[in-house]
Amino acid sequence: MANEQTGLEIQEILSQLGIETVNRGASTGSYWFNTRGEKIDSYSPVDGKLIASVSAASETDYEAAILKSQEAFKVWRQIPAPKRGDVVRQLGDKLREYKEPLGKLVSYEMGKSLQEGLGEVQEMIDICEFAVGLSRQLYGLTMHSERPGHRMYEQYHPLGLVGIISAFNFPVAVWSWNAALAWVCGDVCIWKPSEKTPLSAIACQKITEQVFAANNVPEGVSSLIIGGPELGKLMTADKRIPLISATGSTRMGKNVGQVVGERLGRSLLELGGNNAIIITPTADLKVVVPGAVFGAVGTAGQRCTSTRRLIIHEDIYEVVKNAIVKAYGQLKIGNPLDLNNHVGPLIDKDAVAAYQNALAKVVEEGGQLIVEGGVLTGEGYESGCYVKPAIAEAKNEYSIVQHETFAPILYLMKYTGSVENAIAIQNGVPQGLSSAIMTNNLKEAEAFLAASGSDCGIANVNIGTSGAEIGGAFGGEKETGGGRESGSDAWKVYMRRQTNTINYSDSLPLAQGIKFDL
C-alpha cells in the first residue's frame, strides 16, 4: 500500500475499533484517565506519520484509577472463578471479531509485519482460551496432619491489584498474557502500555470494555493509564499494587525490581535476551536456515527472543555461513502491511542509532561484517526507520556481543570439539531467555537440555529461539529477570497461597509433640 492509502485505511481501522479522532492527530479522548491534557503522539515507523495524539494521565488520574480498582476488586474476587473465566472466554470471541483491524493497527503502529500483527492478536485469543480452562483448575494441595483429628490443605486467593507495564515490541499480547490469567484468578489489572504504541492499547481497552459492560463487570477490573516513565515509577512504588509485571530492558527491570523489593512487593520481570542457536555437524540445513533467519530478522530483530548469535561447529561453519548469507540476499524490506515483505522498520530513529552504533562497535572490536548493514532511504523508506539486516563474524567475548541490541544484527562464531564447548559459549552472556540447538544427535540434544546444559528459561531442539506457544511458561534466568508468564503454572504468581489447618477433634494436640498443659 502507498503511504497515503495506508494512512487513510488506518483512520478507518481506528474507527472500526471504536477510536474516534476529530482530525488526524487529535486527541482520542475516551473514558480512561486523561484530564491533564498533555499529549503523547503516536507516530508510525512505517511512514513516519502522526497517527493520533493521546491524552496522558496525571497523578490525580492515576489516584482515581487506583481507588476505582480497589473498589472493583472487592466485587470481582467474590465472583466464582468459572464465571470470571466465562467473561474471559467472551473476550476471546470478541477478539476474533476484531482480529483483522487490530492486527493491522499493531502492524502499522509498531512496525511488525502484518502476519506477525495478526499472530499477536491470535496469541491474545489463545491465552483467553487457556485462561477459561484454568478458571476451573486453580488447585491447592491436601496433606496429612501429624496431629490426630486434624486436616490440612492449601488454597490460593487473588492478590488484588496487578500492575502491568508492557513494551512496544508486543504492544497487546504481553498485556493479555498477564490480564487473562489475573482476571480468572480474581485480580484486577492496571495497564501502562508503552508510550510508543498507545493506540493499540486503547483498542484493546475498548474491546474489553464491550465485553465487561455486557456482563456487568465492575469498572476498574480493567484499567488503562497512558503516560511516560514517571507513571511507571508511580506504579512501581505503590504499596497498593502487590504485583508489578514489567516487560522491557534489563536496566529498567533492575530499577523496578529494586523499588518493588524495597516495599516487599512482588515483581514479575521479563527483560533482555541474547539468544543463541547452536548448530552441530548433524544439523539439517532445511531446518537451520529458516529457523535462524526468521529468528534474527522477524520483527526486525525487536523481540526479546530474537536470535542474536549462531554458534556453528567448525566442520560446517562455511556451509552454514554461505547458506545464511544467501538467504539474507532474498529478504524484502518495506512496508510491513505488504505481505510480500519480510522485514519492516525499527520502532524509531533512536533504535536506528543503536543499530548503527552496534555495527560500528563490532568492527572496532575486531569483527567482520559479511552482510553489510545500513539505513535505507528513498521512496517507501521516508520514515528513516528502515535498516538492512546485517551479519557479522564475531567473538562471544566482545562487549557488543555481550549486550542486547534491539535490531536485526546476527553474530556468527565457531566452536570446536564437543557440544559442551558450544553450550559454554551460549551460556557465556549475562542474559538467559531463549536458546536452541540444531542437531540430529540424540546425545547432543539431551546434553543441551540437561541440568549442565542451557541455562536459559527456554531451550529448544530443532526449532529457533522465537515463537513461544502460550501453553508453556514464558521467561528467562539471570539478567532476563526470572519471571514466568502465560502457560503451565505461571498463574500462581497472581495469587497468594494460604495453608489451612482444621481441628475437628475435642482436644488441642500441638505439633512436634509439644506439651502445654494448664
Report pLDDT digits (tens) over 60-93: 999 999 999 999 999 999 999 999 999 999 999 9
HSE on the CB side for 113, CA within 13 Å? 19
* pTM confidence score: 0.95
Largest CA distance in the chain: 91
As annotated, the active-site residues are 270, 304
Residues 6+ apart with CB under 8 A from 385: 45, 48, 111, 345, 346, 347, 348, 349, 351, 352
Q: How far is CA 37 from the centre of its chain?
A: 30
In this predicted structure, what is the pLDDT of residue 34?
A: 42
Non-local (6+) Cβ contacts of 225 within 8 A are 32, 33, 57, 61, 62, 65, 190, 191, 192, 231
Below-70 pLDDT ranges, the chain: 1-8, 21-37
pLDDT at 11: 85
Tell me what pLDDT residue 349 has: 98
DSSP character at residue 333: B
Cβ atoms of 116 and 212 within 8 Å: the answer is no
| Residue 396, helix vs strand vs coil | coil
- pLDDT at 36 (0 to 100): 52
What's the confidence (pLDDT) of residue 21? 64
CA gyration radius, the chain: 25
Helices 250-262, 229-237: crossing angle, 10 deg rounding: 30
User: What was the pLDDT predicted at 7?
Assistant: 61
Q: Which of 219, 170, 209 is nearest to 91 (CA)?
A: 209
Determine the pLDDT at residue 8. Answer: 64
